[in-house]
């Protein structure tokens, strides 16, 4: 026998090899977990649908909804996954278990990804008030989208862009966009629509990114405030995966009580003084202390700025170790720099200067008094009380702008209706309201008497030529 015939072969194990569990859907990796620019859940759903070559509406309606209906954990939640008319789809990114929690559960089961809750604000359910937290429709930085596309990176929407309090991109120093920039469209963009594609407008299907130059011409206080807010929230979103025990709802109340104690012993007017130091009315502050409510995110951030602590410290540091400065005379990174005075009043010469600067500025469209008050971090009534003359001038300028705009819009609508009606007539069809409604962006304008007149004129022309 040859030596080859005596060779010992390895032993074969004939049992089936162990295979890792298989996911129903493609196990798409989420973008940016553990970083300030972590993706939001609606962005993940959009990308997941794209990876399967289906519309997000189909994914939600045909897969996620039925999956949840059969699930024992979130039974009866099928309807909560419907994209429908794209209303309220922002809540998939929010703090509510019913919507964000259910969507995360379904997606984690279907993709076997285990960290999708960090694409929502579920970790911050106890820290963030749901009131005025999320934007109803998308905001985005066109420069970020363009940069990601040109460098071959994944196109997605960061969770930061879903927050109402964030209005600028601090990477590109520009305002976030809130409506489709293509002139023939101009629609707002829902977080999730039936046919959403990453980085595209679901109305006109055009690309939403573009290279834009830095816009640093806004007032300096707002720029500093936005930089600070974005950093605070970005840090918090990046830390979410490391949070073992999320801050409970009582955390903010504890911090507020500690801040009150630091104002000194009980004395008449102490609560009023404290409320004023936080820039809120006594009633609002009372609902916080009685634990019925927690401050809105923007108010919480402004309190941190006044106390000179980070949002992270406010939510996680040992409360007793926090030193909270409630004296407003000290400057800090806040948009409230104008309103600070020793007595926390808005009647200071700095506020007068700020108002006059806004009045003499060529800003277009001019801001309403409400918008000016928001910029300065106070109420319109407070401004009117102390600076009546300049406030009246601001209001008058805004009214003139509104009237002019109304006239310009009306002329534009008249022209639009006239052209649309003539176009329909040129095709041999009578330009009735049904036909016009199909082509007009806002069919409701046909109710305006001036527009009806223009329309009736074209109808008469059509009828006489029959």
Q: Which is nearer to Zn ion, 193 or 221 (CB)?
A: 193
Q: Rounded to the nearest whole angstrom, what is the least distance from the CB of residue 182 to Zn ion in the complex?
A: 5
Closest CA to 137 of 157, 120, 117: 157
Encoding tokens for residue 209?
């990114």
Q: Rounded to the nearest whole angstrom, what is the least distance from the CB of residue 157 to Zn ion in the complex?
A: 12
Q: Which is nearer to Zn ion, 141 or 458 (CB)?
A: 141
Q: Which is nearer to Zn ion, 107 or 180 (CB)?
A: 180
Q: Rounded to the nearest whole angstrom, what is the least distance from the CB of residue 306 to Zn ion in the complex?
A: 28
Q: Rounded to the nearest whole angstrom, what is the least distance from the CB of residue 152 to Zn ion in the complex?
A: 17
Q: Rounded to the nearest whole angstrom, what is the least distance from the CB of residue 247 to Zn ion in the complex?
A: 29
Q: Which is nearer to Zn ion, 52 or 171 (CB)?
A: 171
Q: Rounded to the nearest whole angstrom, what is the least distance from the CB of residue 192 to Zn ion in the complex?
A: 16
Q: Which is nearer to Zn ion, 204 or 410 (CB)?
A: 204
Which stretches of the chain bind Zn ion, using CB under 5 A?
Answer: 141, 143-144, 169, 171-172, 180, 182, 185, 201, 203-204
Q: Rounded to the nearest whole angstrom, what is the least distance from the CB of residue 314 to Zn ion in the complex?
A: 27
Q: Which is nearer to Zn ion, 117 or 172 (CB)?
A: 172
Q: Which is nearer to Zn ion, 171 or 441 (CB)?
A: 171
| Contact indicator for 166, 176 with CB cutoff of 8 Å | yes
Q: Rounded to the nearest whole angstrom, what is the least distance from the CB of residue 284 to Zn ion in the complex?
A: 34
Q: Which is nearer to Zn ion, 136 or 291 (CB)?
A: 136
């Amino acid at each position: 026998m040859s030596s080859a015939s005596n060779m010992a072969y390895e032993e074969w194990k004939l049992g089936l090899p162990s295979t890792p569990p298989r996911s129903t859907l493609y196990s798409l990796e989420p973008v940016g977990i553990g970083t300030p620019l972590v993706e939001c859940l609606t962005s993940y759903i959009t990308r997941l649908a794209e990876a399967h070559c289906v519309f997000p509406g189909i994914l939600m309606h045909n897969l996620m909804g039925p999956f949840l209906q059969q699930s024992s954990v979130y039974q009866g939640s099928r309807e909560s996954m419907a994209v429908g008319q794209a209303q309220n789809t922002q809540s998939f990114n929010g703090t509510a278990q019913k919507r964000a929690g259910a969507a995360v559960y379904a997606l984690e089961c279907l993709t076997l990804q285990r960290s999708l809750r960090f694409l929502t604000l579920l970790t911050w359910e106890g820290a963030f008030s749901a009131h005025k937290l999320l934007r109803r429709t998308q905001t985005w930085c066109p420069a970020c989208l363009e940069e990601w596309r040109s460098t071959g990176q994944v196109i997605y929407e960061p969770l930061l862009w879903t927050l109402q309090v964030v209005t600028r991109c601090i990477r590109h120093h520009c305002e976030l966009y809130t409506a489709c920039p293509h002139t023939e469209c101009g629609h707002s963009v829902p977080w999730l629509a039936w046919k959403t594609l990453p980085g595209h407008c679901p109305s006109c299907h055009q690309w939403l990114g573009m290279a834009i130059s830095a816009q640093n011409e806004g007032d300096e206080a707002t720029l500093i405030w936005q930089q600070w807010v974005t950093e605070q929230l970005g840090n918090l979103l990046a830390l979410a995966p490391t949070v073992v025990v999320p801050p409970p709802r009582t955390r903010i109340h504890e911090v507020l009580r500690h801040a009150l104690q630091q104002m000194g012993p009980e004395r008449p007017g102490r609560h009023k003084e404290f409320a004023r130091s936080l820039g809120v009315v006594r009633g609002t502050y009372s609902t916080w202390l009685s634990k019925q409510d927690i401050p809105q995110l923007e108010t919480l951030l402004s309190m941190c700025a006044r106390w000179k602590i980070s949002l992270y410290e406010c939510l996680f540091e040992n409360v007793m170790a926090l030193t909270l400065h409630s004296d407003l005379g000290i400057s800090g990174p806040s948009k409230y720099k104008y309103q600070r005075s020793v007595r926390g009043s808005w009647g200071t010469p700095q506020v007068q200067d700020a108002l006059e600067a806004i009045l003499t500025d060529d800003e277009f469209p001019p801001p309403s008094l409400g918008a000016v008050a928001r910029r300065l971090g106070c109420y319109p009534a407070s401004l009117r009380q102390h600076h009546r003359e300049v406030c009246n001038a601001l209001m008058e300028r805004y009214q003139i702008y509104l009237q002019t705009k109304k006239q310009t819009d009306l002329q534009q609508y008249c022209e639009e209706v006239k052209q649309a009606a003539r176009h329909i007539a040129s095709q041999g069809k009578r330009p009735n309201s049904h036909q016009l409604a199909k082509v007009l962006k806002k069919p409701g304008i046909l109710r305006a008497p001036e527009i009806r007149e223009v329309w009736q004129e074209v109808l008469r022309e059509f009828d006489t030529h029959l």
